[in-house]
Amino acid sequence: MATFRFYEELNDFLAPERRQREFETPCARAATTKHMIEALGVPHTEVELILVNGESVGFECPLADGDRVAVYPKFEALDVTPLLRVRARPLRTPRFVADAHLGALARLLRMAGFDTLYDNRYRDGEIADLAAAEGRIVLTRDRELLKLRHITHGCYLHALVPVQQFAELVHRLDLVGSMRPFSLCLECNRPLRAVAKAAVADRLPPSVRTGHDRFSTCDACGRIYWEGSHWRRMRDRLAALTPGIDGGTDGAGSDPTDHG
Ligand SMILES: [Zn+2]
């Protein structure tokens, strides 16, 4: 069995009970994404993007038992705005470059473990160059930026508030399964490294030194992270935005006005 979810007008091709929801269906042995999508009634020419377990794949991807498959339509028909533009070669891991207005979203993405470049001094051309050179998805609320010819992968954010933008992206790109919370430095976007308490003890406030035992650090900026109240608050926020990642949260805990 594999779990499928089709988005936007692709639902029109599905049997009514399968529209706008996740559903499970048996997969033939050695079935590919294209085979299954067409077997469910959706012409492959209408499909622009397929994610299997959160990773972008092609039409020839073999499906295995338990796979989660998200299928997105051509974007011209999706909306007047380009939500996401994908070309022949899909990106295997979601990595991002955020435009100058999306600093808070960039931090949320880093918090969830998604490699996200952000610098409010980036100009449009630099963003496009970074995206092309490093295989990154451009995040923006600027349609003109997405029109730059050498941007092949971009996502237009409809939401205005950062936590809602984050939720929008997680939902649209089916990112829940790809999250690695608290693996990146929020400031530098560099991987965090676990560090022994003794190695950092002299740099900790006394209350932290007595109350916590697990620490990680960023080798770029030297910041030390521990599972304090701020950490727990962020973890709860991620869980609230993404019911299912942490089992049992009811999604009621997010506060869209508090994104600092
Ligand atoms: Zn850092």
Tell me, what's the pLDDT at 107? Answer: 92
Tens-digit pLDDT profile for residues 172-213:
777 777 788 889 999 999 999 999 999 999 999 888 888 888
> Cα-flanking dihedrals φ and ψ of residue 241, to 5°?
-75, -25
Tens-digit pLDDT profile for residues 211-251:
888 899 999 999 998 887 777 777 777 777 665 544 333 33
- For residue 118, report the distance from its CA to the centre of ligand 1, in Å: 13
Burial of 238 (0-12, 13-18, 19+ CB in 10 A): buried
- For residue 235, report the distance from its CA to the centre of ligand 1, in Å: 19
How far apart are alpha carbons 16 and 77 in whole angstroms? 20
- For residue 187, report the distance from its CA to the centre of ligand 1, in Å: 5
Residues with CB under 5 A from ligand 1 (ion): 185, 187-188, 218, 220-221
Q: For residue 100, is pLDDT > 80?
A: yes
What count of other Cβ atoms lies within 10 Å of the Cβ of residue 220?
12
- For residue 185, report the distance from its CA to the centre of ligand 1, in Å: 5
Residue 198 structure tokens: 């003794």
